[in-house]
């Protein structure tokens, strides 16, 4: 179905969802969902590393992507994780040697860790799976630093990608991280001089580069992002700072104080998010979003779906226990919960179904078929495909 839609819309101009009609239940699938190029590439490189490294230790710096099913599969094939996503060390650095294979995950890594591995003689580029769009953000951030702009990073400070981007950007220029629009507004107080330098160091502790002086380094700025953040939110933050610079220095001087960085937004994240907005235009009884509970891009899709539908965030079909019981992740509360009678007694029942960029399509298939199996008489997959 995805391939058919791709061939009919090579220029990606149609974001309308696809309806798969099983009779008593209909699934409304997002136009774009699931693995992006960066994730597919990372997983392929990981499998190649295993094939080419017989009798060697094969390590991943941390989770390949934020999907437990994928990470479990890699571990079952013999890959060991050096650390967790929060930086908790599983394998001490002293145990890593130049004879070992180390895979850099799709999020990339910090310059500090890269140099540590190089000092050990580890080949870091052969199995470097860093997403090209993440590297694009790094390159833009480094260029901003070289041009004497301060880099404002829209991202989650503890996320591996944001930590990597901060490492690369602060190597070339002054950098600061904002989590959301609320933090962007807090940062604006220091641009306007309404709060003191000491207040900045306390309020943004752990989120700014060495030597950062808010009285000097917030007059010439550019905004880049963690690629899995909502593109609309990144753009809104950039627009907010742009208007602030116009108000301070005049529109005629804007280019001297604000760099346009719209070209750093990840197309795959944008496609998935734009497709989710189109889902919100349809009528449905509930939404099921499949993906890792610690996946940033998946959580944003959940947030969007929750605006209109009762939404169930699950990591695989195993969370669907029966026709009347589902185990799912309550994202606002950050905890697993159980819901009973989650499928309304209605025919045809319309279910929105989508997934994050770190979720294999096979998981979406399994979720769809498991849910369809609770209804009868239900059309076969062959009948549904023939109608599509």
CB 35: neighbour CB atoms within 10 A? 21
Strand partners, 80: 59
What integer pLDDT is reported at residue 63 of this predicted model? 79
Question: Which pTM does this prediction carry?
Answer: 0.82
Half-sphere exposure in the Cβ direction for 21 (13 Å, CA)? 6
What integer pLDDT is reported at residue 40 of this predicted model? 85
Strand partners, 337: 328
E strand intervals along 58-123 = 58-60, 80-81, 101-103
Classify 159 as helix, strand or coil: coil
What integer pLDDT is reported at residue 269 of this predicted model? 76
Residue 179 DSSP class: -
Instruction: Decide: 119 and 95 in contact? Cβ < 8 Å.
Output: no
| C-alpha dihedral (138, 142, 148, 150), degrees to nearest 10 | 30
| C-alpha dihedral (325, 331, 335, 338), degrees to nearest 10 | -10
Q: What are the backbone dihedrals phi and psi of residue 315, each rounded to the nearest 5 degrees, phi first? A: -95, -15
157 alpha-carbon distance from chain centroid: 14
Classify 332 as helix, strand or coil: coil
CATH class of 2-35+268-387: alpha beta
* Residue of 69, 160, 161, 319 with catalytic role: 161
Distance CA(388)–CA(382), nearest Å, equals 10
The token pair at 150 is 């301060």
Q: What are the backbone dihedrals phi and psi of residue 378, each rounded to the nearest 5 degrees, phi first? A: -115, 145
Q: Where in the chain is the domain with CATH 3.40.50.11270?
A: 37-119
Q: Where in the chain is the domain with CATH 3.40.1010.20?
A: 2-35+268-387, 132-263
Catalytic status, residue 161: yes
Instruction: Decide: 371 and 288 in contact? Cβ < 8 Å.
Output: yes
The CATH number of 37-119 is: 3.40.50.11270
For residue 304, which of 273, 350, 327 has the smallest C-alpha distance?
Answer: 273
Instruction: Decide: 219 and 257 in contact? Cβ < 8 Å.
Output: yes
Q: How far is CA 381 from CA 20, 21, 22, 33, 174, in A?
A: 9, 10, 8, 20, 55
The token pair at 279 is 């889902």
Distance CA(87)–CA(145), nearest Å, equals 26
In this structure, whether the domain defined by 132-263 belongs to CATH 3.40.1010.20 is answered with yes
What integer pLDDT is reported at residue 111 of this predicted model? 95
Q: Is the peptide bond before 328 cis (omega within 30 degrees of 0)?
A: no
What integer pLDDT is reported at residue 187 of this predicted model? 98
What integer pLDDT is reported at residue 244 of this predicted model? 97
| Sheet with 325-330, edge to edge strand ranges | 320-322, 325-330, 335-340
Q: What is the pLDDT along the chain (388 residues), one digit of tens a residue?
A: 888 888 888 788 888 999 999 999 999 999 988 887 788 888 899 999 999 998 899 999 987 777 778 888 888 999 999 998 777 899 999 999 999 999 999 889 999 999 999 999 999 999 999 998 899 999 999 999 999 999 999 999 998 999 999 999 999 999 999 999 999 999 999 999 999 999 999 999 999 999 999 999 999 999 999 988 888 899 999 999 999 999 999 999 999 999 988 777 777 777 888 899 999 999 999 999 999 888 888 898 999 999 999 999 999 999 999 999 999 999 888 999 999 999 999 999 999 999 988 888 899 999 999 999 999 999 999 999 888 7
Length of the chain: 388
What integer pLDDT is reported at residue 39 of this predicted model? 83
The token pair at 34 is 């699931």
360 alpha-carbon distance from chain centroid: 14
């Amino acid at each position: 179905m995805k391939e058919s839609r791709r061939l009919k819309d090579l220029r990606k101009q149609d974001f309308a969802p696809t309806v798969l009609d099983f009779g008593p239940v209909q699934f409304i699938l997002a136009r774009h969902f699931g693995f992006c190029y960066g994730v597919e590439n990372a997983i392929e490189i990981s499998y190649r590393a295993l094939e080419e490294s017989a009798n060697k230790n094969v390590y991943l710096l941390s989770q390949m992507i934020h999907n437990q099913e994928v990470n479990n599969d890699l571990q079952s094939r013999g890959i060991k994780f050096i650390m967790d996503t929060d930086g908790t060390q599983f394998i001490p650095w002293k145990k890593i040697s130049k004879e070992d294979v180390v895979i850099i995950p799709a999020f990339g890594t910090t310059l500090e860790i890269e140099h540590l591995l190089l000092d050990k003689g580890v080949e870091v580029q052969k199995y470097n799976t860093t997403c090209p769009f993440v590297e694009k953000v790094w390159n833009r951030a480094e260029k901003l630093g070289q041009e004497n702009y301060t880099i404002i990073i829209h991202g989650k400070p503890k996320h591996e990608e944001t930590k990597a981007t901060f490492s690369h950007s602060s190597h070339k220029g002054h950098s600061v991280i904002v989590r959301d629009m609320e933090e962007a507004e807090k940062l604006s107080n220091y641009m306007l001089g309404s709060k003191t330098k000491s207040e900045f160091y306390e309020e943004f502790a752990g989120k700014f580069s060495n030597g950062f002086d808010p009285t000097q380094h917030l007059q010439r700025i550019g905004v880049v992002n963690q690629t899995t953040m909502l593109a609309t939110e990144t753009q809104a933050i950039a627009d907010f700072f742009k208007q602030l610079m116009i108000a301070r220095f005049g529109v005629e001087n804007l280019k001297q104080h604000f760099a346009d960085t719209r070209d750093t937004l990840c197309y795959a994240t944008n496609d998935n998010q734009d497709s989710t907005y189109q889902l919100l235009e349809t009528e449905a009884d509930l939404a099921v979003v499949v993906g890792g509970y610690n996946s940033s891009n998946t959580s944003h899709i959940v947030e969007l779906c929750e605006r209109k539908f009762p939404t169930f965030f699950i990591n695989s079909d195993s969370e669907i226990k029966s026709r009347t019981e589902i185990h799912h992740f309550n994202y606002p509360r950050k905890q697993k919960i159980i819901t009973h009678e989650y499928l309304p007694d209605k025919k045809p029942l319309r279910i929105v179904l989508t997934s994050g960029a770190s979720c294999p399509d096979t998981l979406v298939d399994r979720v769809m078929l498991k849910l369809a199996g609770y209804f009868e008489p239900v059309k076969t997959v062959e009948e549904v495909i023939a109608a599509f």
